[in-house]
Amino acid sequence: QVQLQESGPGLVKPSETLSLTCTVSGGSINNHYWSWIRQPPGKGLEWIGYIFNDGGSPKYNPSLKSRLTMSVDTSKTQFSLKLSSVTAADTAVYYCARGHGAGYLDYWGQGTLVTVSS
Amino acid sequence: DIVMTQTPLSSPVTLGQPASISCRSSQSLVYSDGNTYLSWLQQRPGQPPRLLFYKTSNRFSGVPDRFSASGAGTDFTLEIRRVEAEDVGVYYCMQSIQFPRTFGQGTKLEIK
């Protein structure tokens, strides 16, 4: 059974960089689109972006693209998200998920709440 | 961006009764390969989303057969034949034909 687990600080100061890592277990990291989605408290889902296992040509949501960096470390079966210059609007539960070529997201992590506050 | 519009936003249902959720996209989700890139997810309270269906009507592993999904082009439907208590939660449709991927606002299914 594929499992994903997010990790990273739960509190980030405004203007700083939010950094999260997702560790994949129980399955190969190859041939999948490793994705990030977020959900502000009490609100709906927002697709952040994905990176393929070879690390090339990540796809980012244009609304976040200028502040986003994604990377993948296949040796550790991990992929990561960095979001710079955060504001309170970036406060959300951040999920990592496995994506397929058809775009659907079949396995999700439990999510981690990141709060942006001084 | 493709806008996904779900109706209703809230659906109170009696246990054992059917439920239906609609999702409409602002553009056709039919790709040149003939597939329609619409998926449905369920989010139970306090849980991450869970995939129910992909490419419109393909049931994901472990999803009970009381759930069904259908649709074409821009109009899609998720149906639950007889609602059970464990079905309470928020249901989302998601398009994956275009970037950025976008979700519907969510439909909250609750028991009357």
Please check the confidence at residue A55 and state whether its pLDDT lies above 80.
Answer: no
pLDDT of residue A53: 83
Q: pLDDT band at residue A54, thresholds of 50, 70 and 90?
A: confident
User: Scanning every residue of chain A, which has its alpha carbon at the shortest distance from the alpha carbon of B100?
Assistant: A61
B residues 20-79 near A, CB within 8 Å? Answer: 35, 37, 39, 41, 48-51, 54-55, 60
Asked whether the beta carbons of residue A103 and residue B37 sit closer than 8 angstroms, the reply is yes
Tell whether B104 lies on the interface with A, counting CB pairs under 8 A.
Answer: yes
B94: confidence class by pLDDT, cuts 50, 70, 90:
very high
Tens digits of residue pLDDT in B2-31: 999 999 999 999 999 999 999 999 999 999
Q: Using an 8 Å Cβ cutoff, are A36 and A92 in contact?
A: no
The residue-averaged pLDDT of A67-83 equals: 95
Residue A68 CA to residue A17 CA, distance in Å, equals 10
Among candidate residues B34, B19, B106, B20, the one with its CA nearest the CA of residue B73: B34
Q: In which order are the strands placed within the sheet that holds A78-83?
A: A3-7, A18-25, A78-83, A68-73
For A40-56, what is the mean pLDDT?
Answer: 93
Q: What is the pLDDT of residue B30?
A: 95
Instruction: Characterize A63-95 residue by residue with b for buried, 16 or more Cβ atoms within 10 angstroms of its Cβ, and e for exposed.
Output: ebeebbbbebeeeebbbbbebeebeeebbbbbb
